[in-house]
Structure 1
Amino acid sequence: MKKSVLLFAALCVWTLMPRHFSHADNYFPTGTEGLLFTVQGSNTIGAHLAPAWAHAWLQQKGATNVMTQPTSVQNEMFVTGNIQGKNVTIAIHAHGSSTGFIGLLNGSADIAMASRSIKEKEVIALKDYGDMRSFSAENIVAIDGLAVIVNPTNPVDQLPVETVAQIFSGEIKNWREVGGPDRAIRLYARDEQSGTWDTFKNLVFSKRYSLSANAKRFESNDMLSKNVANDPSGIGFVGLASVNTAKALAINDNNTRALKPDVIYVATEDYPLSRRLYLYSPEQIKNPLVDDFIAFAHSRSGQEIVESIGFVSQNPTPLKVEKLNGPDEYRQLTQYAERLSINFRFKENDAALDNKARQDITRITQYIKNNDPSNIKVQLVGFSDTENTNSRADILSRLRASAVKIALFRNGIASEPVLGYGSNVLVANSRGSSRDKNDRVEVWIFDNKPTSLTPRTGQNLVVNIGNL
């Protein structure tokens, strides 16, 4: 593997030292100098978010004269600082998610940035580095909404996912076909290395469509957005932080409610084109400074930076919801409760909490403990994708809510008896590639005044397993 002699020497020093670094410490291993680590991959993360994290992390560690310096290569930069008279550097190369995993494999990167989850072929290629889907290797560090954007003067406000696919495949060629002006559509898309493109391809095309050869391709989200904003005929897709002066459309998926990429719907991943942003670090090659940097990205401070850049943080935020679809007792939640900006989701075809959900248990625990737990009631509401029978969907939705209840209980957080509404409120096409979005648990909080919800058709739907 190609590692600089300096980095190799530094790693040798680090492996002999304790592997815990407090964010409050003004501390680096003695003799630290030069390149600390390299972050490589997604332009969505690497353009603004990763440099902002690196800048803040170095400052928190006591570095002075911290600055971000672009290199002569587009989408590459150094974040530099001075520690006790010695210069330190974090290198960031943002050429697309796939390049991050290539960098891990060939040793040119310590962290892979990705705006989509690791692919099976990448897991296999990196198997000698440990399980890249494990809790320690895979880190969901932000939520992003894949925004479908048009020129601000375009009168079209919303589109179904299927129609977006038909537009970008070239089947729909004129805006008048979707309620717009009589004008040919011009397409703008991310390049093949991009995680944004990979996400769009999976969520929108679903192996049934392919991109028109007439689409203009971009390595940069911001450059794509600028071109669409200046083109009355244009349509493109970018990460949420790069909408800028373009107009984001509301999107719906197969008769579900059309949603714009607003904070509540992106944070809970209900928005059809929401996605997770990842940092991957191999289990078998642990650099304690890398571990500490990723822990900072997960922290409240790191998530505040996520929000300041224009993505959606994972810090729990109570939000008032004005309108809900679904059974009466579910809609009554809007009268006295607020919804937390976190949904719990699960491993594919499994009832076990996924890696994000495991982190979210800690986040919600800290949120409640910091906000007078004696005055907060927690209501967990489960949902399911469609199943063979409605009763099976109902049972699965309540069992998933019970799994979250148990995890919170182990952290000292009590909650109300769970509610489950099966497949009554779908947020994704149950036959599409995003159907797993329907398997979810919402978190609602309220004060001590309300004690119960009105049962549906006179029957209490509460599941109370083991008197938990």
Structure 2
Amino acid sequence: MARHTRKITQLTGLFIASLLALPVPAYELEIHGSNTIGAALAPMLVTGYLKEKTTGAVSAKGTGQENEQILAARVNNRLTDVLVAAHGSSTGFKALAAGQADIWASSRPVKPSEVEQFRARADLTTLESEHVIAIDGLAVLVHPSNPVSQMSIGTLGKIFSGQIRNWSELGGPDRPINLYARDDRSGTWDTFKSLVLGKQYTLDGNARRYESNDQLSDDVSLDPAGIGFSGLASVRNSKVLAISEGNAPALKPNQLTVASEDYPLSRRLFMYTPGDRMPPLAAGLIDFALGQKGQALVAESGFISQNPIAVKPEFDNSTPESFRRLTGNYQRLTVNFRFSEGRTRLDNKALRDLQRVQHYLEQHGRTADDLLLIGFADTQSHELRAQMISELRALSVRMALDKTGVRDVAYTGYGQYMPVGGAGSPRNGRVEVWIQTPRH
């Protein structure tokens, strides 16, 4: 009997020791990843969410580590603290995979290799796991005195790979070009590498690398020979260039061009969660971020909100007269419907944008009769084929809106005309949303 007692005591001791060895969560919620999101936007969203749950103050302090913040408040007489660690998008995935993060903040889409690595726990590509919290545009920055005002993505690639080394080659002064780039852990860098450098170019080894968007922008604004890139919220005192892709017109990043993702260097900012296995605090924060109050904070932070607004676009000389007539009595909503697979399957952002369009109509006292959907296609082998594809896209959005109660919206297709990207760009395949100009 004594032997059994000693054995049970030993097992109990081992069990307690194993419990003590488990990592104890230091914070109620941890958000790891993108500096673009974590520098200001994520803390603003956390603060806004906590303010809704408490009548007290929300405090903010550092951890002693650069690019980390702790937001805290008393909720139901209990301290609720949230860590935001902003060391780059790739670090966020690693933290989520290791169980150290509840939310992964990323300024790039999840990579296929990361999807596979995480698949046993959740599918990070589903609506339950992938949350577009804001739209950003990669701003290409130069010194305010630089006379260059626009360039193509191809020219950008040659500059940052060192093939173009002097501003005089671009119509500027005879001055060597100094390169400023984000570091390898940054989602901003991943986006620039994918959209600009691709497989054709490699970043010049003389480029200065930065963990912080703000610091990079500040340094470019002090260097007449400098050129760099950052998130749209970090333009600060630098000058922003208009960017073109293929034969499409050059566009500057602004409310409409970035929100609609027509701007060639526009990108989505994400929060990823492990499906429905996230704690209630994380789920509540995601719902807040995606809602109207959260999106208002997105706009306040300098990024582009997904809450639709109506604007009158400025057409350039390339806009066909038939399109001017078609939209003459309309304004454009700052939302485009885009597709994930094939030609008619809406992506995760589009599925949420359906609700946003519905809410816009309710808030402004408008109806489905005020809307017009215009579909577009990429260049096809035959003009008639492109027309058919563009109409099918618009019809698929119409049918999806029907399910939200926004019924029988007028629609049309505009074929392969008015591309916003180069030939083959998925951004060309889109459905724009137009709304009749109110009569006063």
TM, length-normalised to structure 2: 0.92
Counterparts of 1:104-143 in structure 2, within 5 Å, are 104-143=96-135
Q: Give me the whole-angstrom Cα distance separating, in 1, the residues matched to 2:336 and 2:311.
A: 13
1:200-254 C-alpha deviation (Å, 9 max, x unpaired): 0111112110100000000000010011011111000000000000011000111
Q: How far apart, CA to CA, are the structure 1 residues paired with 2:432 and 2:22?
A: 45
Equivalent residue in structure 2 for 1:92, among 78, 84, 102: 84
Deviations along 1:133-166, one digit per CA (max 9) or x if unpaired, are 0001000110000000001111110011100110
Q: Amino acid of the residue matched to residue 107 of structure 2?
A: S
Instruction: Give 1:220's aligned amino acid.
Output: S
Which residue matches 1:249?
241
Distance in 1 between residues matched to 2:166 and 2:55, nearest whole Å: 54
1:10 corresponding residue in structure 2: none
Matched residue, 1:76? 68
Cα distance in 2 for partners of 1:402, 1:189 equals 42
Taking only aligned residues, the RMSD between alpha carbons, in angstroms, comes to 1.7
Which residue number in structure 1 is paired with residue 259 of structure 2?
267
Contact kept in structure 2, 1:35 and 1:90, CA below 8 Å? yes
Task: Report the 3-state secondary structure (helix = DSSP H, G, I; strand = E; otherwise coil) of the residue aligned with 2:123.
Answer: coil
Whole-Å separation in 2 of the counterparts to 1:84 and 1:291: 18
Task: Tell me if 1:319 matches 2:293.
Answer: no
Structure 2: which amino acid aligns with 1:339? R
**Structure 2 residue 301 is the aligned partner of structure 1 residue 337:** no
1:439-458 pair list within 5 angstroms: 439-446=429-436
Secondary structure of 1:297's match?
Answer: helix
Q: Secondary structure at the match of 1:399?
A: helix
Q: CA deviation at 1:68?
A: 1.5
> 1:205 and 1:448 mapped to 2: Cα distance?
44
Q: Which residue of 2 aligns with 1:223?
A: 215
The residue type paired with residue 31 of structure 2 is V
In the alignment, which residue of structure 1 is the partner of 2:426? 436
Distance 2:268 2:123 in 1: 19
8 Å contact 2:343–2:393 — kept in the other structure? no
Deviation of the 1:334 alpha carbon: 4.6
1:284 to 1:407, Cα distance in 2 relative to 1, 3 A: closer
Is 2:391 the partner of 1:398? yes
Taking the aligned partners of 2:312 and 2:64, their CA distance within structure 1 comes to 47
* Letter matched to residue 263 of structure 2: Y
Deviates more, 1:86-95 or 1:366-375: 366-375
> SS of the counterpart of 2:174?
coil
State the partner residue of 2:10: none
Query: Which deviates more from structure 2 when the two are superposed, residues 82-91 or residues 166-175?
Result: 82-91
Contact 1:377 1:415 in 2 (8 A): no
1:36 aligns with 2:50: no
Determine if contact 1:390/1:422 at 8 Å carries over to the other structure: yes
Alignment partners' CA distance in 1, 2:87 and 2:176: 31
Tell me how far apart the structure 1 counterparts of residues 140 and 183 of structure 2 sit (CA, whole Å).
16
Opposite residue 332 of structure 1, the aligned amino acid is: R
Instruction: Quote the Cα distance in structure 2 between the aligned partners of 1:373 and 1:318.
Output: 12
Task: Kindly indicate whether the alpha-carbon contact (under 8 Å) linking 2:132 and 2:268 is maintained by their aligned counterparts in 1.
Answer: yes
In 1, the alpha carbon distance for the partners of 2:198 and 2:411 equals 34
Q: Is the 8 A contact 1:228 1:236 kept in 2?
A: yes
- Per-residue deviation, 1:376: 5.4
> What is the rounded CA distance, in whole Å, between the counterparts of 2:323 and 2:432 in structure 1?
11
**Secondary structure, aligned partner of 1:55:** helix
Counterpart-to-counterpart distance in 1, 2:132 and 2:222: 33
Q: CA deviation at 1:284?
A: 5.4
For residues 419 and 349 of structure 1, the distance between their equivalents in structure 2, rounded to whole angstroms, comes to: 19
1:183 aligns with: 175
- 2:191 aligns with 199
Which consecutive residues of structure 1, in runs of 5 or more, have no partner in the other structure? 8-33, 450-468
| Residue aligning to 2:9 | none
2:178·2:225 contact (CA, 8 Å) conserved in 1? yes
Is the partner of 2:313 in helix, strand or coil? coil
Instruction: Give the 3-state SS of the residue equivalent to 1:35 in structure 2.
Output: coil
Check 1:125–1:68 CA distance in 2 against 1; reply closer, same or farther (3 A cut): same
Residue 12 of structure 1 corresponds to which residue in structure 2? none
Instruction: Give me the identity figure in percent.
Output: 45
1:268·1:341 contact (CA, 8 Å) conserved in 2? yes
Shift of 1:326: 4.1
Q: Please name the residue that 1:47 is paired with.
A: 39
Matched with 2:8 is: none
| Among candidates 50, 58, 67, match of residue 66 of structure 1 | 58
2:58 and 2:326 map into 1 onto residues whose CA distance is 47
DSSP 3-state at the match of 2:92: helix
1:329 Cα shift? 3.0
Q: Is the 8 A contact 2:367 2:406 kept in 1?
A: no
Structure 2, unpaired ranges of 5+: 1-18
Contact 1:378 1:414 in 2 (8 A): no
Question: Alignment partner of 2:84: what SS?
Answer: strand
CA contact (8 A) 1:129 1:284 kept: no
> Counterparts in 2 of 1:365-380, with a 5 A limit?
365-374=358-367, 377-380=370-373
Looking at structure 1, the residues matched to 437 and 166 of structure 2 have their Cα atoms a distance apart, in angstroms, of 52
Aligned pair 1:167/2:159, yes or no?
yes
Q: Residue 236 of structure 1 aligns to which amino acid in structure 2?
A: G
Superposed displacement of residue 369, structure 1: 1.7
Distance change in 2, residues 1:46/1:181 (3 Å): same
| Alpha-carbon contact 2:420-2:428 (below 8 Å) kept | yes
Letter in 2 for 1:349: G
Q: Residues 375 and 447 of structure 1 are in contact (CA less than 8 Å); yes or no, is this contact kept in structure 2?
A: no
Deviations 1:93-148 (A, max 9, x none): 10111111101110110100010100000001111111110001000110000000
